[in-house]
Chains A and B, each alone.
Chain A
Amino acid sequence: MLFNSYEFVIFFAVVLALYWSLPARWRIYLLLAASYVFYASWDYRFLSLILLSTVIDFASGLAIHSTADPRRRRLFLILSMSADLGILGFFKYYNFFVANLRELLTHLGVTTHLGTLDLILPLGISFYTFQAMSYTIDVYRRAAEPSRDFVTFATFVAFFPHLIAGPIMRYEHLYPQLKNPAPANPLWMRMGLFLALQGYVKKVVISDNIAPVVDQVFNNIGGHNAGRLLEAALLFTAQIYCDFSGYSDIARGIAYFLGVELVPNFRAPLLAASITDFWRRWHISLSQWLRDYLYIPLGGNRRGPRRTYVNLMTTMLLGGLWHGADWKFVAWGGLHGMLLALERRFRRAGAIGLALSAPSNLAAHLAWMLPTQAMVVLAFVFFRAASIGDGWRLLAGVASGAGLSNVLTLRLAYTFGAIALLDVPLFLTDQQAWALRLPLPARVALYTLLLLAIITLSGQQNQAFIYFAF
């Protein structure tokens, strides 16, 4: 059941009506049931996995909390994380691991009969696993009290608006909202309305219309000149941003209607003026997760420059791998890690570096924006290409220069114009629901235009979100 489907419109209308009709104490049961129905609509078999993950982390939280013995606490944590990562690793990385191991052994002259399995990646597994893991780690760190309410905890893991592609929510933020449901908040609903409209425009109007063009070029890199290749690279950056941030906006929007606030996941990342800035604006919930549960535990920047660079690279490589079992994602993460390390290195070098890392005025910001976004686009080439080799082929094709004068197409202008229309106000105000600050007539006009665009300009129907594959 995609957000951009008629099924979801009916599903959500029913859930919303029931939710606000029920007494507060029953709402959590409705949310849990709705979340499981939502998940089962993809593949009911994987409900058992999410339930298993939920039971493991719920029990682990209680077990960790029940003892003061550091060794036992650590043991429970390790057991819980092993189970979570074991499930994730098996479904997401088993075939990747086996295929690479087999290749390595073949190179070493060892024949092996290790075979890959016909596995289907359970939807949203990377998202809910990370979310559930953060809970156990927080309980272990004594940063959170364990849940003693299984139904609320299960809803925390499976809350349908963000179940499939985030934002990855922290226990301390989401659980209390579910445990003590707030009364209907019309201001939140107004914010939700704008976010959902904006999200649908990003997804069905911008992303879905770009998708066929990008697919056409990336599926046949050799058949296109430099202009078309560069256009496709630029368009893919727009596509993945609008696809993913569109999902997050819709998720946040519909959650607001249910009286739940999800954390922002994007803050106009295509206007970032450094890679550090980019990661403060792109998939914020994942970068914060990686920072708090990987980068900082590795030592962060506390153990000298060299170790900081190693930690940055490790975090970004694993962040890349989180996206999928493929070396191209590792390359994408590695590129970002390298760029982050370089930025840190130059920031240490002085004033130029300072501007690079945090431009202090608009002119400097704009000046740094272009090279930053060029790097972002370049890295996304590897993310989208079928393989690292294909990524290189595309870059080599662009470098050949043939047809580059034709790169500025109407399609690019529409796409980035539409993104600018939605993101510049966000960038300038730093308010996710910036439209609420507009005068009422302007707001009504904007909403009408957004609705009109959704109805008349949407791309191919029922296109899945890109991040569903992760």
Chain B
Amino acid sequence: MSEAPRFSEEQVRRYARHIILPGIGGEGQARLLESKVLCIGAGGLGSPVAMYLAAAGVGTLGVLDFDRVDESNLQRQIIHSTADVGRPKVESAADRLRAINPTIEIVPYDTVLTSENAFEVLEPWDVVVDGTDNFPVRYLVNDATQFLGKPLVYGSIYQWDGQATVFMPGQDAPCYRCLFPQPPPPGTVPSCAEGGVFGVLPGIVGCIQATEAVKLVTGKGDPLIGRLLIFDALQMDFQTVRVRWDADCPVCGKEPSITELIDYEAFCGLAPGQAPPEAEHGAPTP
């Protein structure tokens, strides 16, 4: 690290406001350009996450989503345009990200994250950002990142409420299971499709996730490790609570009882194949 970071003239122009910014500077910008960040989900949370990380010059930016753009997404998933309805989300997102910053590498994954492919998909990345919308995948992403030792930037929303934190494996720091040991039983928590979601909310929570991802990559500031940010858009209230590492956690505790990826549908009380095939392919709402 003795050699001063070097940028092309275009990079100096593009990243000038970061390079002169105390806290990022040339060194921080060089780290961003060398970094690999995977955004799981190209939806409400993934939109601002991926767009800001692309703009910031994250050198390799992965986007994973299996879904296609639906008209009902456009109220909040600002990475997609009206003309993109019906296209695979990762294609639509990749086009938008390349338009924002053609100098970085975009890696699209048009797939469902499963216990079978999670290690292969997550392994190459420095930081993983969780923008998914269901409990099985959230526990899967948590466990896989814990096993791989990857930092996970968590964000979640419902109606007018948002949550964000950072799970950092291997430092007696909490994971998602320390925060919520069990998922709610099916039927107790309505989905965003049923309960609605305020369109700006994922923008705010996603921007917090993007901020934390940049801080993790550049090593600057005090990340949201062991702290959960709770946001209430209706009251415009930000609150931070402590998240403690659970020594009895089955994944990151002292004597883990879960040491490999499991059946997360079963863990969340869903029978295998319970979600109908059309839901898997993003069929339009009747």
> Real complex partners, A and B?
no
Show the binding face of B for A, using Cβ within 8 Å. none
